[in-house]
Amino acid sequence: MKFFTKGRISILLIVLVLFADQMIKILVKTHMGLYEKFSVCGNWFYILFTENNGMAFGMELFGKLFLTSFRLIAVAAIGYYIYKVIQRGQKTGYIVCLSLIWAGAMGNIIDSLVYGLLFSDSLPYQVSQIVPWGEGYAPFLYGKVVDMFYFPLIDATWPQWLPLIGGEHFIFFSPIFNLADASISCGIISLLLFYRRYLNGFFTENEKVASKGDE
């Protein structure tokens, strides 16, 4: 019997991404003060500890409860879809992409669900501590997502001769993100680059189901 089946590859990848994502977040949160930064590689790769209430890359949209609820629904839907495509025997690469997206979404959901219950608040010059369950900085569903990867690849000033923006400071690629965000991005980009026809087939199939329901 083949050990590395498509289902097991999906589960293994999800477990690895979740484990690595949570270990990095816990290490950063329990060893660094909020907004503390140190260089990993020159001036273009830093570990910079931040937290956010929003979605990937620190975007703030709608309310916290709405975002967490939306994430839970999305994860349930994606998880069910992964189960169906594994049953259909679709390509392993397609399943890997979906698994990366699911793992990344779940990684950030864990922060929202339990970090507020498990950790004291992170502040500048004050490192967070693990506290008795339920005595943390926020109630269930209201935890903040931990971000830490910062890649200011270009940190410069626009030439003075440019209209409107001349002389202004700019940073190319300023978002601060985590491993879960990167997992989601890699999964989506790979889907768009290599498996667009699968997505087209998925939407076409749903349209057919919807049209039959209207008849």
Q: Which of 137, 146, 188, 179 is nearest to 16 (CA)?
A: 179
Nearest-Å Rg of the Cα atoms of the chain is 20
Residue 118: its H or E element: helix 116-118
The Cα 103–Cα 100 span in angstroms is: 5
The Cα 42–Cα 205 span in angstroms is: 49
Dihedral pair phi/psi, residue 138, rounded to 5°:
-155, 155
Which one from 111, 147, 155, 214 is the annotated catalytic residue?
147
Active site residue 147: yes
Q: Which of 137, 155, 118 is nearest to 25 (CA)?
A: 118
Active site residue 214: no
8 A C-beta contact, residue 153 and residue 44: yes
Q: Please identify which residue in the block is written with the tokens 């002389």.
A: 167
List CB contacts of 22: < 8 A, sequence separation 6 or more: 107, 110
CA angle 115, 117, 123 (to 5 degrees): 60
Find the length of the chain: 215
Which one from 21, 121, 181, 214 is the annotated catalytic residue?
181
Q: 145: helix, coil or strand? A: strand
Please identify every residue annotated as catalytic. Answer: 147, 181
